[in-house]
Structure 1
Amino acid sequence: MFAVYAAEPNPDQPLDALRVGERPDPEVPHGWVAVTVRAASLNMHDLWTLRGVGIKPDQFPMILGCDGAGELADGSPVVVHGVVGDASVYGDETLDPRRTLLTEKYQGTFAETVVVPARNVLPKPDGLSFAEAACMGTAWLTAYRMLFTRSGLRPGQSMLVQGASGGVSTALVTLGKAAGLRVLVTGRSEEKRALATRLGAHETFESGARLPEKVDAVFETVGKATWAHSMRSVKPGGTIVVSGSTSGPDPSADLQRLFFTQVRVVGSMMGTRDELASLLEFCRLTGIRPQIGTELPLADAATGFGQMLSGETAGKIVFTR
């Protein structure tokens, strides 16, 4: 079958490990289902896989893609949940120490067919296109869990999103506005800040700029480049929710400010199947949709990877078939 995959780990030149071509048709174990993929979205995790992060060397070659949408054998349209874990034991599959994501142990969604456990598919709402639905399982689910499960925010409170144009960031802006929160956003360029405004941000600022007031919660996916600003921007007793560190970890965490102002730092990773179901229903009820910046045929995936590596994003990058 046709697929986009990582041939081997390449920490320094990740795109050199990218391949577009044929891979063996997958087998379908008992209790699993095959999904004919109609659309799949690109995530930073796919670049980390090309670098060899979070995946053992003997797992290569690995088909990329953590999330997607498509059809079951009977034609039912579905959304793929990319976290494979034991929810029956832990209640929350993201807390299963043996849990994994597609592309870490199991082949991903950048292919004609992906095979996942039967519980890892959910009905696609009629109002979502396959391209829109393909954004839900990773970036939007990560944002949903950060905002509604981990932050403790209530409607009417304020939030700061660090970074204005990535998949998780644009989802946080859209979800926060729909939930009745005051949304502030930082962005490196005027173009990126304008995108956040179009998505519903109440105010936008240059990266590192002093805010007019401190916020109830900060949402961090950047890490070292923004961490000091996040610590300065949150109210005493407020919350910083962290789901990534694309610029690397910060070795100077400003612990004195942390304990003196009693800030909570909360980790967040992807989301559960139940949270994905709630997210899909929230989109149906409110009519909100993901920001798709680039839509490309799967055969042109290298172009999308290049855009993400260079930071040239304006929402989600989606591959379709």
Structure 2
Amino acid sequence: MQPIVIGHRGASGYRPEHTRSAYELAVALGADAVEPDIVATRDGVLVVRHENEISGTTDVASHPKFHSRRVTKEIDGIELTGWFTEDFTWAELRTLRARERLPEVRKASATFDDRFPLLRLRDAFKLIDRVAGRARRPIGIVAEIKHATYFDSIGLPLDELFAAEVNTAGWNAGDGRLTIESFERSLLGKIYARGIYGKRIFLLEARGKPFDEVARLGLKNAPRYADYLTDAGLYGLSGRIDGISVPKSLILETDADGQVTGATDLVDAAHAARLEIYCWTLRPENRFLAKTFRRGRLRADYGDWQSEFRTILGTGIDGVFADHPDLAVTVRDELAAED
């Protein structure tokens, strides 16, 4: 079984993320699925943005009428200052336009700034239904639900809102198109309890602790992400979720100097525990590559992305998130042809 390629926030290496153009382009470039990040508005509308703080991905700062909405909050234990989706209605957010999050690295994408409006989750479902019909192949959605414990604390239960959207959109047919992922495993359980039966993927960081566990048990007693990545931790997850998704640093084996020497055994360990495993994020620019694969001095230049992608895709991993889906598809297909 070949790994699937998931357009990370669409084709976010080429277009401002979470826009109609980014999703359409991802499918055109061969992605098997796209990944919308999901947050909520004040009036309970689910929108697709990387975070609920939107100063870096929209033109909100250029709207004088919204200047007073700039505030400082603590989100999942981290203090942030900016504009937050939960302080806006959807009617207000729809007046904003999307901008490239990394303009210093992706100058070509930044030329599309202010051209595309924000999308609701329901818009993303309709868009993927439409482009899948044009492509004549099934296209999945890997829905990442953000900051569920925080949103629940302010009266916006994302599990309830998400379940309603999925059912209304006709995406709860059990046809394998829907995957739900979160850094909060408790949310995956709540969504399953609401009768949403998409594949459940637990996102794990290389360090730190899941915020839902911190909120429930306290910082001292909450388990670390690393605890779930041991053999015992993986077997403990088996049967409760369908898989895990990890940063690529946990797939790449490095020596004391930080040079990549191959791949870790995490993929095999996850499969032994009967879990699927995905990783994020495949990107070709030097800024994001392991230093072994960087070439030249400029962080925006492409390095030896082929070698890094081959190392990861050659592990037997079940799927990868890629900002440039065509590049990941190319390497995946090359490896398949070599078998």
From the two aligned structures, give the one with the greater strand fraction: 1
Q: After TM superposition, is the score higher than 0.5?
A: no
